[in-house]
C-alpha cells in the first residue's frame, strides 16, 4: 500500500507541475480547442459530404484535434520534461530514493493520460454542445481507438525521451516527427482527398491509423483490424525500444 501511495503522490505532483507549466495546457489543449471553434464557425465545413462517408468536414477535424492534443503531449511535453529531468540530474537523484525511476515513468504516463482525458472530454463537449456534432456512434470503438492511440503515441514519446540527451534535443526530435505525422492525420489535406500513395502511407502511420479508427467509430462501426494492429505495433515496438535505450543519467 505504501508503494501505491508513493506512486499516487508522485502522479499528483507531476500532474500539478504540468498544469502549472502554462505552455503545455495552452499549446496542447487550448490551441487545438481554439482551432476547433474556428473551424466549427465555417459553414462550408458543416455540410455532409459523400467523400467523408456522409460526415461533415468538421466531423473529421474533431478527432484530428484530439490526435493533435495527444501528439503534443507525447512528442513535446513528456520528452522535454523527462530529458530536462535527466539534464538537471533529477532522474539520477530519483534513482537513489525509494521512489525509484520506474515510478517516475509511471507518473509521467499517468499525468499525460489525465491531461489527455480531460482534453478529449472537452473537445467532444464543445463540438457537440457548441456545433451540434454527434458523438461517435460506436462509443466502445471510439474508447478503444483513443486508448490505443494514446498508448502508441506516449510510447513514441518515451522512445524520444530515451534517445534525447537534453531538452533542446527532445524538442527538436519531437518537432521533426510532429509535422509529417499531423499531415498524414489529415490536418492540412483530409485523408480522403489525398492521392492514393499518400493514403496508403497514412494508414500505416500512427496518426493515420488513429484517424481511420476514429472515423469508423463515428460512422457507427467498431474499428477495422488494420488501424488497431498498426497502433498496437507502434505501442509495442516503441515501448520496447524505450526500455532498451532509456538512460537515467
The CA distances from residue 85 to 89, 103, 109, 192, 242, in Å, are 6, 14, 15, 41, 16
Cβ partners under 8 Å of residue 17, min gap 6: 81, 111
Rounded to an integer, the average pLDDT of 86-111 is: 74
What band does 21 get if pLDDT is binned at 50, 70 and 90?
Answer: low
Give 24 or 91, the one with higher predicted confidence: 91
Asked if residue 122 lies in contact with residue 33, where contact means CB atoms within 8 angstroms, the answer is yes
Beta-bridge mates of residue 56: 48
Q: Among 117, 103, 38, 27, which Cα is nearest to 68's?
A: 27
Distance of alpha carbon 114 from alpha carbon 15, whole angstroms: 8
pLDDT, one tens digit per residue, over 121-135 is 999 999 999 888 888
Output DSSP code: residue 234: H
What band does 6 get if pLDDT is binned at 50, 70 and 90?
Answer: low
Rounded to an integer, the average pLDDT of 107-116 is: 83
What band does 1 get if pLDDT is binned at 50, 70 and 90?
Answer: very low
Question: What number of other Cβ atoms are within 10 A of residue 8's Cβ?
Answer: 13
Q: Among 130, 116, 133, 141, which Cα is nearest to 216's?
A: 141
Distance of alpha carbon 207 from alpha carbon 153, whole angstroms: 9
pLDDT at 160 over 50: yes
Q: What is the mean pLDDT of the chain?
A: 85
pTM over 0.85: yes
pLDDT at 8 over 80: no
Amino acid at each position: 500500500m505504501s508503494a501505491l501511495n508513493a506512486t499516487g503522490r508522485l502522479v499528483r505532483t507531476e500532474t500539478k507541475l504540468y498544469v502549472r507549466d502554462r505552455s503545455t495546457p495552452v499549446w496542447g489543449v487550448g490551441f487545438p480547442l481554439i482551432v476547433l471553434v474556428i473551424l466549427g464557425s465555417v459553414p462550408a465545413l458543416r455540410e455532409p459530404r459523400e467523400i467523408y462517408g456522409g460526415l461533415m468536414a468538421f466531423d473529421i477535424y474533431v478527432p484530428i484535434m484530439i490526435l493533435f492534443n495527444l501528439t503534443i503531449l507525447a512528442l513535446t511535453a513528456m520528452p522535454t520534461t523527462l530529458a530536462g529531468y535527466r539534464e538537471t540530474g533529477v532522474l539520477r537523484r530519483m534513482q537513489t530514493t525509494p521512489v525509484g525511476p520506474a515510478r517516475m515513468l509511471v507518473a509521467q504516463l499517468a499525468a499525460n493520460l489525465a491531461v489527455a482525458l480531460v482534453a478529449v472530454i472537452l473537445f467532444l463537449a464543445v463540438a457537440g454542445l457548441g456545433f451540434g456534432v454527434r458523438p461517435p456512434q460506436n462509443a466502445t470503438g471510439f474508447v478503444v481507438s483513443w486508448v490505443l492511440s494514446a498508448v502508441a503515441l506516449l510510447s513514441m514519446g518515451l522512445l524520444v525521451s530515451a534517445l534525447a540527451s537534453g531538452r533542446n534535443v527532445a524538442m527538436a526530435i519531437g518537432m521533426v516527427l510532429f509535422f509529417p505525422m499531423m499531415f498524414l492525420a489529415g490536418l492540412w489535406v483530409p485523408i480522403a482527398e489525398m492521392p492514393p500513395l499518400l493514403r496508403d502511407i497514412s494508414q500505416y502511420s500512427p496518426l493515420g491509423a488513429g484517424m481511420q479508427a476514429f472515423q469508423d467509430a463515428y460512422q457507427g462501426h467498431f474499428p477495422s483490424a488494420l488501424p488497431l494492429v498498426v497502433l498496437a505495433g507502434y505501442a509495442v515496438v516503441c515501448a520496447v525500444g524505450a526500455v532498451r535505450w532509456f538512460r537515467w543519467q
